[in-house]
Amino acid sequence: MGAVFALLIALGLVVFVWLGAGVIGFKALFAVVIPYAAFLVFLGGIIYRIVEWAKVPVPFRIVTTCGQQKSLKWVKRSRLESPFNNFEVAIRMALEVFAFRSLFRNLKAELKGPNLLYGSSKWLWLGAIAFHYCFLIILIRHLRFFTYPVPGFIGIIEQVDAFLHIGLPFFYITDGVILVALTYLLLRRLSDPKLRYISLGSDFMPLFLILGLVISGILMRYFFRVDLFQVKEFTMGLVHFSPKVPDVGVIFYIHLTFLCALMAYFPFSKLVHMAGVFFSPTRNLANNSRAKRHEPAPWWQKPKFKTYCEWQEEFKEQLEQSGQPIDEDCYKKKEA
């Protein structure tokens, strides 16, 4: 049900843009109003999330570990599985961010007859890392529309991405790989009964939005060509807050609207883990609670504690009314 709902929303976006930009002709709405609004929602949402995460105290070190903590010198410890200092935490975090280390080590459980078997789950890691890096390369390639002059490294990335020299314009390898990776991630959720049962609409929505973004981009590059000079003029106008509505095909506005929808949806979806991973206490803390006292937050101030006698003095009237015994020794100590 969640997949159907997300698919209907994605198809509804296509119909909405086709009617608005293609039939009615409200191109300014999709070229100016929606992009700026989506960017503001994205920026404001990310800032709000980061501020809220930063304000949350962490009363305990809840580091995810599966290795020996540092203890005695002759006991061999695991530096990555149980980091003791910030340097080891940084290495662990870098491997998590750039190589998806925990996902690479992930296992899957499968019931075969009376036996519960555990096996490797490397296909999920491969699909995830292929998608993320392809998306990053595509994002870098698109920087040519927002910069002038275009940085040299963007041209190098494009040449490497299209080194097969298939078709005209040249086919980008990342276009095909990201489409395959997204298809695998979607079919994985649909084909596995257990995974399909626990999947919600919020799990399918990002997949369909990104699929719509990728498919519309591929169609625009290889099949329904648009005037790139007008697109460049439009994007540079967006950057300098003087946008000029381009007179191009509706496929461009579909592509742009999928991007805007993804940006606006990003801070309120599971995609925000891109920023949230850096605030996760299971990842960003060292496992050194035996050697160093943990403070809930850098700005945390130690509260003023009350002795029992001070507490009794504050609530003496309520204690007497409820028939609770009063410790007279507190008053003897006070008199002394």
pLDDT tens column, 296-307 = 666 666 667 788
Task: Give me the half-sphere count of Cα atoms (radius 13 Å) on the Cβ side of residue 230.
Answer: 12
pLDDT band per the 50, 70, 90 thresholds, residue 1: low
> Per-residue pLDDT for 36 more than 60?
yes
- Per residue in 187-229, pLDDT (tens digit) is 988 888 888 888 888 888 999 999 999 999 999 988 888 888 8
> Per-residue pLDDT for 22 more than 70?
yes
- Per residue in 232-244, pLDDT (tens digit) is 899 999 888 888 8
pLDDT band per the 50, 70, 90 thresholds, residue 273: confident
- CA distances, 56 to each of 47, 52, 281, 293 (Å): 15, 7, 10, 18
Query: How far is it, in rounded angstroms, from Cα 109 to Cα 131?
Result: 24
- Per residue in 38-63, pLDDT (tens digit) is 999 999 999 999 998 888 877 778 88
- For range 130-142, the mean pLDDT: 93
Least confident interval from 110-119, 135-144, 283-292: 110-119
> In residues, how long is the chain?
336
DSSP three-state, residue 110: strand
pLDDT for res 299: 64
- Of 285, 275, 288, nearest to 64 by C-alpha is 285
Domains of the chain as residue ranges with CATH: 2-303 (1.20.950.20), 305-336 (no CATH)
pLDDT for res 150: 86
> Per-residue pLDDT for 6 more than 60?
yes
